[in-house]
Structure 1
């Protein structure tokens, strides 16, 4: 075949050099930076874990001195509402502060660069954190986690069985949250699940024990 008849697109062959170059071209497209997930991962998984642990600990603390199911459910519901509002407001303030810092830094870099690289500047604006999105994600995730002990205790009248079911449901949810956070963040699964589980158990045990101690002392 003459040189002027050479096709524009060459089919891949068994040449190791060509295969290596093809691999190098495809590999960056399949590479994903998991650090980009850190913002919503922190707001979602950690928010759900906080809702689970804090609400369950509050219910266990009230259950240590009050066996009435209505008191336990009301305390858990109050913890859900208060915690969701607190998480949303705290996340909004925190992310908004981060947004102000990043916007100020972008302005300083633009002034030093004398208006160059406008496309890069527009991409940076799109990647800026969203305070409202982070606040909504935190409130929703906290509520989802808090619903676990509430639903577990809602239909059980017997006091001891109710406490056992709450602990069992929270234990399962803690393992799931720890596993989910590790998988999404590409972290060690077993270590993450065990850390989350032990922390949740410790929070419930401390709250139950101290409330029981104070309640039995007659204060």
Structure 2
């Protein structure tokens, strides 16, 4: 009499792969948007502090910073994820030593074929040896996807302070508008990143917002004396 034992997988591998694939580009997108927003905002606020009467200079500097930052993020993310992919690929394809191989072989030989039918998910994983390489390829990070997500997200984040700088011509109001728009966007990006990561939304939003304020204040405070020296030299 043949017995049939159903072996259940505790973790659905397909859902795990899909989660890893989504987390891969979501992480890069959130980080890229935050970096683009904060760096472009700080750059334009600093330029406004040093030369506050030239709106076109502020816009061009912000656009140049956005493009340069997007390229930098893409290259950095590509190099980082490529290295991570190589390390994980070498780790997953590394052959076990002879003792481990013998032990696994003995354990597999003990299992009778009548115990697990072809409907068993565990036996399907074992029998699908030809598809194991493709499965590992799906779980490995994709450097092209991460680089593209970082660059696009950086540009999207940079668009918010750029639109504020284009919309407002008066220098003082322009600085306030850029700071307000960027503050709201930073809080939203921080909250979204925390929600996707499963952490506290409020704490993460406040943390990102305070960090952004510090960056804006430092940039404005350090470059404002340059404008005063320039005005004094003209007099």
TM interval, shorter chain, is: 0.7 to 0.9
Select the residue among 44, 50, 58 that pairs with 2:29. Answer: 44
Hey, what does 2:151 align to over in structure 1? 139
Select the residue among 207, 220, 230 that pairs with 1:208. Answer: 220
Hey, what does 1:61 align to over in structure 2? 46
Segments of 5+ residues of structure 1 without an aligned counterpart are 1-24
* Structure of greater relative contact order (alpha carbons < 8 Å, 6+ residues apart): 2
Hey, what does 1:87 align to over in structure 2? 73
Q: Distance in 1 between matches of 2:225 and 2:23?
A: 40
Q: Is the 8 A contact 2:164 2:178 kept in 1?
A: yes
Hey, what does 1:97 align to over in structure 2? 83
Q: Distance in 2 between matches of 1:187 and 1:206?
A: 28
Q: Distance in 2 between matches of 1:215 and 1:152?
A: 22
Displacement, 1:217?
A: 4.3
Q: Distance in 1 between matches of 2:68 and 2:80?
A: 18
TM-score by length of 1: 0.79
Q: Is the 8 A contact 2:50 2:225 kept in 1?
A: no
1:173 has 2:185 as partner: yes
Hey, what does 1:71 align to over in structure 2? 57
Taking only aligned residues, the RMSD between alpha carbons, in angstroms, comes to: 2.7
Change (3 A) 1:172 1:62: same
Once the two structures are superposed, residues 131-190 of structure 1 have per-residue CA deviations (whole angstroms, 9 ceiling, x without a partner) of 111100000000000010000110211111111111110011011101111111111010
Select the residue among 133, 138, 146 that pairs with 1:126. Answer: 138
Change (3 A) 1:123 1:28: closer
Q: Distance in 2 between matches of 1:40 and 1:84?
A: 15
Displacement, 1:100?
A: 1.3
Structure 1's consecutive aligned runs of 4 or more residues displaced over 6 angstroms after TM superposition are: 32-35
Q: Distance in 1 between matches of 2:191 and 2:68?
A: 27
Aligned residue-pair number = 192
* Further displaced range: 75-84 or 36-45: 36-45
Q: Distance in 1 between matches of 2:11 and 2:89?
A: 29
Q: Is the 8 A contact 2:51 2:227 kept in 1?
A: no
Select the residue among 160, 165, 173 that pairs with 1:161. Answer: 173
Once the two structures are superposed, residues 82-115 of structure 1 have per-residue CA deviations (whole angstroms, 9 ceiling, x without a partner) of 000000000011111111112222221378759x
Hey, what does 2:122 align to over in structure 1? none
